[in-house]
Amino acid sequence: MNDTPNLHPTKPESTASGELTSDGLTSSAPTPLFGRDADSFVQQLRLASQAHRAGRLDEAISSYLRLLAARPYHAELHNNLGVALRLAGKLEASVAHHRLAMAADSENPALHSNLGNALRAANRPDEAVKHHFQSIALNRDYAEGFFNLALCLRDLGRLDEAVGCFGRALALTPDNRRARVELAIALLMRGELASGFATYETRKRLPETPTPEFEQPAWDGGPIEGKRLLLYPEQGLSDVLLFVRFARELKRRGATVIVLCQALLKELLCAVDYLDEVVAEGEKLPAFDLHASMVSLPHLCDVDFLALSSQPPYLRAPEESRIKLGTRDRARLRVGIYWAAMPGQPQDRQRSVPFAHFLPFTGDPELLIFSLQGGVHQRDIQQHGAGGLVHDVGRGIFDFAEAATALSQLDLLISIDAPVAHLGAAMGLRTWVLLPAAADWRWQLGGETAPWYRSARLFRQSTPGEWTPVFAAVHDALATLK
């Protein structure tokens, strides 16, 4: 998932607060001071900005604060400090400093847009939209303002408006690859999968997209009969679980299919009958002729997206089971739950659900609840006194083959947007996915179904951050299953 919109190029007219550069920082501008003090201030601000751009955020923030003590109404300082605080995850402080920057230079469109970026990061998209609109009202040719506005409109599900704003940004800056990639995501969310995936290929030209260091050429979608094709993971576990299905089409075309994957997935994928070889990252690669990113397969394979949801499950648990889930006489349904994204993942705060929302389910004797949660959030069970209510299976799961074994013994999985949700749905397990208001593009916008999985049902927030109505809908749906 792309989280770069927090910092964007901004090119307003030069003002007393300085002109913003391509990373959202303002460059040193003329100051009303004269002599040695002015030179010292400009030099210290330049050094602080250099530390910021180098990723030394603590050093940059400390430097900005020292300078701010001497220049408390300096718009450039407040802006740069706001950007640094946003990157450090201190979002409300970031918002406050951007407001102070804007107050000192209220006609600067970039400062309005940067405030909008901070508000978006703080999950306040409605407020963010107002400031992005103000930025383009101040400068109708401000491409970055249209781009930032489009991101917020997309978050709010206003996709037609978002596509229009991305189009305006591209008309002003035709070579803006990032805008083209974000437009692709809007198209994918809108259900325009063929054009969306075609446009999404632009992501390969972004600096943060990993470039495979293979001597062999990339597959361009041409004939592959008799060829050895290596598929590699580009983004994360979820995308491997989602897109490995297309290897079946490659096999049908006569290719020998080799999959390079994360070590956690190797044993699971070794059980897939349409894969010829599976190699974990770090292991020696076998010989191959061509390579392709798994995320590119929908485009390269010219997929019939309408037929996807009717296709059978394509992943299964290994035959040898090392996990055995218990039963109880009165329990009619065995339900797995997963509530928290791994720390440090993009949008983990928005995707994660407080564990307490699941506790009402544990008081129903007809439900036997199993936690598949991994990582630090396993502690939530004991911290809420739920050790006798929720069976902690996650503590014994060390890879996705074991996770698949546990899932194969469940009647239902209730999960946030996480790899385990893709795994459950790919196995054909009834999977209920809990989605934030600004859901990942893979789940599209609106509706209870996903184009990828016929066994998945989507429960979406209608208001950002509000999970109570989502769980009320889940509770009602559970009542119909028992």
414 pLDDT tier (thresholds 50, 70, 90)? very high
Give the per-residue pLDDT at 221: 96
Same CATH fold assignment for domains 4-205 and 228-303: no
> Does residue 460 sit in helix, strand or coil?
strand
Give the per-residue pLDDT at 343: 74
Per-residue pLDDT at 22 exceeds 50? no
d(Cα 127, Cα 120) in Å, to the nearest integer? 8
Give the per-residue pLDDT at 411: 97
The CATH code that applies to domain 228-303 is 3.40.50
Provide the b/e sequence for 344-381 (b: ≥16 CB within 10 Å): eeebeebbbbebebbeebbebeebbbbbbbbeebbebb
Lowest mean pLDDT segment, chosen from 20-29, 80-89, 171-180, 376-385? 20-29
147 pLDDT tier (thresholds 50, 70, 90)? very high
Give the per-residue pLDDT at 331: 84
Spatial strand order of the sheet with 256-261 comes to: 277-280, 256-261, 228-232, 290-293
Architecture of domain 333-481: 3-Layer(aba) Sandwich (3.40)
Non-local (6+) Cβ contacts of 92 within 8 A are 122
Topology given in CATH for the domain delimited by 4-205: 1.25.40
pLDDT tens digits for 344-396?
665 677 899 999 999 999 999 999 999 999 989 999 999 999 999 999 999 98
329 pLDDT tier (thresholds 50, 70, 90)? confident
Identify each DSSP E strand in 318-382 by its residue range. 333-338, 367-371
Per-residue pLDDT at 59 exceeds 80? yes
Give the per-residue pLDDT at 100: 96
Query: How distant, in Å, are the alpha carbons of 162, 241, 357, 440 from that of 1?
Result: 18, 15, 26, 8
Lowest mean pLDDT segment, chosen from 8-12, 85-89, 223-227? 8-12
Per-residue pLDDT at 40 exceeds 80? yes
Give the per-residue pLDDT at 282: 94
Mean pLDDT of 225-234: 97
* One-letter identity of residue 198: A
Give this prediction's pTM: 0.86
Mean pLDDT of 214-233: 96
Per-residue pLDDT at 464 exceeds 90? no
Report whether 11 contacts 144 (CB < 8 A).
yes
Report whether 271 contacts 318 (CB < 8 A).
yes
Under DSSP, the state recorded for 108 is: -
Residue with tokens 């889940």: 474
Domain boundaries, the chain: 4-205, 228-303, 333-481
123 pLDDT tier (thresholds 50, 70, 90)? confident
d(Cα 109, Cα 144) in Å, to the nearest integer? 10
Per-residue pLDDT at 6 exceeds 60? no
d(Cα 101, Cα 71) in Å, to the nearest integer? 12
Number of Cβ atoms within 10 Å of the Cβ of 388: 8
pLDDT tens digits for 422-435?
999 999 999 999 99
> Across the chain, what does the average pLDDT equal?
90
Per-residue pLDDT at 26 exceeds 60? no
pLDDT tens digits for 275-292?
999 999 999 999 999 999
37 pLDDT tier (thresholds 50, 70, 90)? low
Mean pLDDT of 456-460: 97
Per-residue pLDDT at 35 exceeds 60? no
Q: What CA dihedral angle connects 353, 355, 361 and 366, to 10 degrees?
A: 110
